[in-house]
Amino acid sequence: MAARHVVIGIDSSTQSTKALAVDVETGEVLGRGQAPHVVSAGAGRESDPDGWWKALDAAVAATGLGQVAEAVSVAGQQHGLVALDKRGEAVRPALLWNDVRSAPQAAGLVEALGGAEAWARRTGSVPTAAFTVAKWAWLRENEPEAAARVASVRLPHDYLTERLCGTAATDRGDASGTGWWGADGYDEEILRLVGLERSALPVVLEPGAQAGVARSGGPLRAGTPVATGTGDNAAAALGLGLFPGQPVLSLGTSGTVYTVARQRPADPTGTVAGFADALGRWLPLACTLNCTLAVDRFATLLGRDREAVEPGGQVVVLPYLDGERTPNLPAASGLVHGLRHDTTPGQLLQAAYDGAAHALLTALDDVLAAGGESPDAGGRDADRPLLLIGGGARGRGWQRTVLRLSGRPVQVPTAPELVALGAAAQAAALLTGEAADQVARRWDTAAGPVLPAVERDEAALDLISRTLERARALQA
């Protein structure tokens, strides 16, 4: 029997690090590992970057194949601010993407550069509290002594890649979520605006490039090739072998809807973030802060299993338990509207599902249009399945909700951990010379059952939209 060639893909997410050891030829998962992260529960959302490194080491070791892997790649949660001193040590815990304390700084930056349209034109996106540029502005304003000690700024995947191989490198997919990177590279005017030196940032490598080789003392053999890595959504797009125009809805700690596009998005409303992908194309994307964890919280409050939903009723839930990004309401809290004596717990739980899915599904047409797609007269290409991925994708409650509110067929890929699988495809591409999405398509990673479309529940969507407008007015 021929010897197997093994690569490792790593997904360093908000809650944990997952590692997959994958056969380069077949895509078979040969080993798995996972280790948790600690996320603060205080005023903001923070994590110690050194904890990510320890989790990576544990997860790779748990695959049992770290010492025979021939290449590795790291995908990581987007936007997080890792601020390091001259010794490469964190000056404070990393500010995570879902920390909304930087909302005032985001609003100030939008105004300082000439408004949302100017930001969309220069960077493809309008910054919110999630973006790294706003978090850096928050740090300078609120913790100036810590900011003064910063010698370098990294994203989570940059930080881990640098610890693996010693190279200060990133890729265009993750860099595009910072707010200071545009189609022509780092934007010097924005860097001056926020008082950040270009020398503090990693070099942005070309798609398919190698960042370096693993150093001794880590979880891999010294000399193992290390790919550039990328952000988690760009990695999932690789893991699916995504074609331009294929819509994806990811259900995790956050909810995202995106596609791969040939043209650069620039949505001045800020609904669609004009991210780059990991291959030289673009990844128009809409993101919500509150997704599976918010629905699970409602299930816990109601004392019900998350699948114990019931149809009917007129109750609406806007589950903005951590503020919200889409719509951009960082100071919002959860809202229950239309509660009656005859509202059942199951109806209330179903309303939480509907509220969490609403923003993503109503943004889908904007995402496709920003990527240059031409939806049909009804606003949708009803024959193209919506790829449903992430931790919630196999839940029947989520599947039924997405079917009912999208009006589309829904395909649920059976491949596990698509972010880590995308990172594995990127690592395999270093060995085979293929593009990473071609590797994933050869592995048939998007295969899975297709659930037939049902009639779109326009009444429910309209009810949620009207409630949202009332909530906006209350916040204003």
**302-351: pLDDT as tens digits:** 999 999 999 999 999 999 998 898 898 888 899 999 999 999 999 999 99
| pLDDT for position 253 | 85
pLDDT greater at residue 29 or residue 326 = 29
| pLDDT for position 215 | 97
Does the structure show a pLDDT above 60 at 379?
Answer: no
User: Nearest CA to 133 among 143, 123, 148?
Assistant: 123
| pLDDT for position 99 | 94
Which sequence positions are flagged as catalytic? 232
Tell me which range, 365-369, 380-384, 438-442, is most confidently predicted by mean pLDDT: 438-442
Tens digit of each residue's pLDDT (9 = 90 or more) over 99-112: 999 999 999 999 99
In the sheet that holds 282-288, the strands lie side by side as 273-276, 282-288, 255-258, 248-251, 386-389, 410-411, 450-451
Q: If DSSP codes are grouped into helix, strand and coil, which group holds residue 460?
A: helix
Confidence band, pLDDT 50/70/90 cuts, at residue 39:
very high
User: Nearest CA to 385 among 255, 240, 270, 185?
Assistant: 240
Q: Mean pLDDT score of the chain, rounded to an integer? A: 94
pLDDT greater at residue 215 or residue 473 = 215
| pLDDT for position 373 | 63
Overall average pLDDT of the 381-398 stretch: 90
Does the structure show a pLDDT above 80 at 137?
Answer: yes
Look up residue 54 and give its two tokens: 């320890």
Distance CA 93, CA 346 (A): 39
Does the structure show a pLDDT above 70 at 224?
Answer: yes
| pLDDT for position 376 | 45
Overall average pLDDT of the 142-170 stretch: 98
Return the C-alpha torsion angle 82, 134, 296, 36, nearest 10. Answer: 0
Does the structure show a pLDDT above 90 at 474?
Answer: no
Confidence band, pLDDT 50/70/90 cuts, at residue 383:
confident
Does the structure show a pLDDT above 70 at 258?
Answer: yes
Overall average pLDDT of the 19-35 stretch: 98
Share of the chain above pLDDT 70, in %: 97
Overall average pLDDT of the 271-282 stretch: 96
Rounded alpha-carbon distances, angstroms, from residue 116 to 35, 108, 119, 269: 39, 11, 5, 7
| pLDDT for position 354 | 97
Overall average pLDDT of the 235-249 stretch: 96
Confidence band, pLDDT 50/70/90 cuts, at residue 377:
very low
Confidence band, pLDDT 50/70/90 cuts, at residue 378:
very low
Angle at 374 between CA 125 and CA 245, to 5 degrees: 65
Does the structure show a pLDDT above 50 at 380?
Answer: no
Cross-strand pairs, 337: 316
Does the structure show a pLDDT above 90 at 476?
Answer: no
Distance CA 207, CA 202 (A): 15
Confidence band, pLDDT 50/70/90 cuts, at residue 2:
low
Distance CA 274, CA 218 (A): 35
Tens digit of each residue's pLDDT (9 = 90 or more) over 188-208: 999 999 999 999 999 999 999
Confidence band, pLDDT 50/70/90 cuts, at residue 384:
confident
Confidence band, pLDDT 50/70/90 cuts, at residue 175:
very high
- Whether cis (ω within 30° of 0) applies to the bond prior to 413 is no
Using an 8 Å Cβ cutoff, are 208 and 55 in contact?
no
| pLDDT for position 41 | 78
Instruction: Count other C-beta atoms under 10 Å from residue 295's C-beta.
Output: 29
| pLDDT for position 166 | 97
Which residue type sits at 154? R
Overall average pLDDT of the 125-130 stretch: 95
Tens digit of each residue's pLDDT (9 = 90 or more) over 288-306: 999 999 999 999 999 999 9
Q: If DSSP codes are grouped into helix, strand and coil, which group holds residue 444?
A: coil
Q: Give the pTM.
A: 0.93
* Pairing of the two strands 72-76 and 6-12: parallel
pLDDT greater at residue 382 or residue 281 = 281
| pLDDT for position 374 | 52
359: CB partners within 8 A, 6+ apart: 255, 286, 288, 324, 326, 327
Distance CA 236, CA 155 (A): 17
Does the structure show a pLDDT above 90 at 382?
Answer: no
Look up residue 39 and give its two tokens: 């996320």
Share of the chain above pLDDT 90, in %: 89
* Pairing of the two strands 273-276 and 181-182: unpaired
